[in-house]
């Protein structure tokens, strides 16, 4: 390993709060495919690590969120996990620790601003979590995860779905049934200036709830609220 590589390893180890036993794992986690394609002596890039790191991140987030808020339902937990594990958020974490300058990039990718490209930054965060896991096991991966994501986990949005029952219902429907709720007007009455709407929401082929209001939007919101109250009975998880 060259001196430049050893220097990069030391600096990234300080950023992560973890010292690698096998430095090559760290180097691979920082290696973009464009670099491997240009270097005859480089046989690995970080794509495989990114794949496993994505799964590790999802698991650790789910575990932490599940234990953190015993009152949060599935929709809220999923929304928090999706927010924290999103590409833009991972890129922001990488930017905060200055990770971009340590990614091994091909010449073309570097000229195109690859050190600032959000997808490269996000993939590197996931790959690094995987590298720590492979090098030091789940306990150390959790520690690095805490170092990177701890502040966000302390400051979760307080009421993700307080006034968004349609958003919560859509999240749950996507998780459980791989589909989205469909809203349909089943009744409309009254003059145009004082109309009333009755809307039914259907998940899959099962009616899940009805609501009424002075506008379609208000009736849909009420239907979603009713569906959320009834969803264990009306739409069992598949």
Q: How far is CA 74 from the centre of its chain?
A: 15
Nearest residue to 9 (alpha-carbon basis) of 141, 1, 54, 94: 1
Q: How far is CA 159 from the centre of its chain?
A: 18
Nearest residue to 63 (alpha-carbon basis) of 49, 87, 80, 86: 80
Of these residues, 126, 160, 200, 220, which one is catalytic? Answer: 126
Of these residues, 54, 123, 168, 220, which one is catalytic? Answer: 54
Alpha helices in the chain (DSSP H): 3-16, 23-29, 33-38, 47-68, 74-84, 87-96, 107-111, 118-154, 165-177, 216-234
Our answer to whether residue 64 is catalytic in this structure is: no
Helix (H, G, I), strand (E, B) or coil at 124: helix
CA dihedral defined by 148, 151, 153, 154, rounded to 10 degrees?
A: 160
Our answer to whether residue 135 is catalytic in this structure is: no
Report, as residue numbers or ranges, the catalytic residues: 54, 126
């Amino acid at each position: 390993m060259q001196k430049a590589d050893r220097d990069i390893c030391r600096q990234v180890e300080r950023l992560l709060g973890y010292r690698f036993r096998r430095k090559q794992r760290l180097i691979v986690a920082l290696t973009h495919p464009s670099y491997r394609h240009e270097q005859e002596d480089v046989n690995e890039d970080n794509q495989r690590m990114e794949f496993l790191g994505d799964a590790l991140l999802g698991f650790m987030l789910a575990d932490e969120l599940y234990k953190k808020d015993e009152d949060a339902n599935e929709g809220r937990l999923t929304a928090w996990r999706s927010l924290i594990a999103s590409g833009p958020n991972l890129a922001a974490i990488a930017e905060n620790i200055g990770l971009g300058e340590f990614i091994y990039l091909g010449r073309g990718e570097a000229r195109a601003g690859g050190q600032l490209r959000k997808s490269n930054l996000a993939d590197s965060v996931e790959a690094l979590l995987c590298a720590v896991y492979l090098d030091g096991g789940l306990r150390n991966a959790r520690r690095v995860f805490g170092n990177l994501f701890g502040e966000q986990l302390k400051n979760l949005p307080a009421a993700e779905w307080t006034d968004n029952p349609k958003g919560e219902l859509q999240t749950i429907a996507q998780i459980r049934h791989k589909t989205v709720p469909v809203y349909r007007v089943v009744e409309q009455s009254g003059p145009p200036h004082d109309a009333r709407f009755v809307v039914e929401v259907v998940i899959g082929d099962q009616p899940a709830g009805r609501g009424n209001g002075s506008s379609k939007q208000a009736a849909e919101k009420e239907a979603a609220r009713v569906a959320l109250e009834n969803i264990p009975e009306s739409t069992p998880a598949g």
